[in-house]
A = this chain, B = another copy of it.
Amino acid sequence: MDAIEPTVECDVTLDEHPFRLEAGGELPEVTLRCAWYGQPETAPGGVILVCHALTGSARVADWWGGLVGPGRLLDPAHYAIVGINVLGSCYGSTGPTTPDRQRGRPYGARFPLVTIGDMVRAQYLALRQLGILRLTAVIGGSIGGMQALRWATDFPAVLDVCCAIGATPLPAMGLALNHLQRQAILSDPAWQDGDYTTQPVAGLALARAIAMCSYKSAALFDARFGRRPDRSGEDPRKTLTGRYDVAGYLDHQGEKFVRRFDANSYLVLSKAMDTFDLTDADLARIRARIHLVGLSSDWLFPAAGVRALAHRLRAVKVAVQYDEITTDHGHDGFLAEPDAVAPCLRAALTTQPT
């Protein structure tokens, strides 16, 4: 299934100068890359913001092609779908690879800490500048789901529906794994305190590989790789570096990732994932209908934690529905199982408040 092209892609430079950040820093200027599928002025279903995960982009159909396109659930003939690359990313929005005008070279490690709240506020300002004052829904998985929840807590009057898949404040194991991923990058001498000209290849690839283990399930790895030797033919029993197939897969994922994602962006976004949290006071501000989806084999955001968040929302009288997708794909189920995600999204978009 080929991904459809956006109707239009645009960069929005925010009117707010400087853009002040929750952790105390500021950016003199913020630009966000947006990708539209459909026409916001005429779409009968209104505008839906789809928030991407850690290393995704504004081009929603590129990573959610099974859900976005003609005849699919998010049909640009019915809804105007917008994706916005998050603040801090390296896919068109202001981030560590953006030139810092004061220094004439990329921010690198001088890029300030951003939060999910900062990302969402920037998105709100960008959409407002584009004349979008109402959203039918904000939807996302993983840190895309964090953004959807932050939209619901921080801009309660703007959206009707919030759908978050595999997303809660990160539990301790997730904080642990994110920390180790950052350590892998920071301890690579090629990181050069963030002022690298070529990427810290070993550290970034290792970070990605650690992350991949937390995105997939043990059952999926067993089914896909088992204890088979690497498909290249090397014998894991004969040399220290001879690999099993799962190891070759992880190395390959790491190598691919280094070519497409910036190490400093990874640090900033991984940190934003860590610091996302929801107090009861946050939850009590919500006016949108909330639809939470857990993934049965998710190790990073266990389904039990998503269910617990639904209970917390009910306790503060927020209209919430919880669905659980049974999948062996682990956390990646929100990307790998569009046919299972679609009914949850459909319910989120059509169910009336309870």
**Hey, which bits of chain A sit against chain B, CB under 8 A?**
23-24, 109, 113, 115, 169-173, 175-177, 179-180, 182-184, 186-189, 202-203, 206, 209-210, 213, 218, 221-222, 224-227, 236-241, 243-247, 250-251, 267-268, 271, 274-275, 277, 299, 302
Contact = CB atoms under 8 A, between A and B. Distances in A.
A225 to B, nearest CB: 4
A138 B170 CA distance: 42
A271 B240 contact: yes
A250 B180 CA distance: 9
A304 to B, nearest CB: 9
B23 A237 contact: yes
A206 B222 contact: no
B274 A175 contact: no
B172 A240 contact: no
Given A113-B240, A183-B206, A299 B176 contact: no
Task: State how many copies of this chain the complex holds.
Answer: 2
A202 B180 CA distance: 11
Given A188-B187, A244-B175, A113 B238 contact: yes
A172 B213 CA distance: 10
Given A170-B227, A221-B176, A182 B240 contact: yes
Tell me which of A202, A209, A247 has the highest count of chain B C-beta atoms within 10 A of its own C-beta: A247
Contact of A239 (B113, B186, B209): B113
Contacts of A170: 227
Nearest to A237: B275
A236 B113 CA distance: 11
Contacts of A206: 180, 183-184, 187
B209 A173 contact: no
Given A187-B202, A187-B206, A227-B169, A176 B222 contact: no
Nearest to A264: B240
A37 B353 CA distance: 69
Contacts of A169: 227
Nearest to A271: B240
B218 A250 contact: no
Given A176-B213, A302-B218, A24 B238 contact: yes
A218 B184 contact: no
B179 A247 contact: yes
Contacts of A241: 186
Considering the complex of A and B, which 9 residue pairs feature the smallest CB-CB distances, nearest first? A172-B221, A179-B247, A187-B202, A173-B218, A172-B225, A172-B246, A175-B244, A176-B246, A237-B275
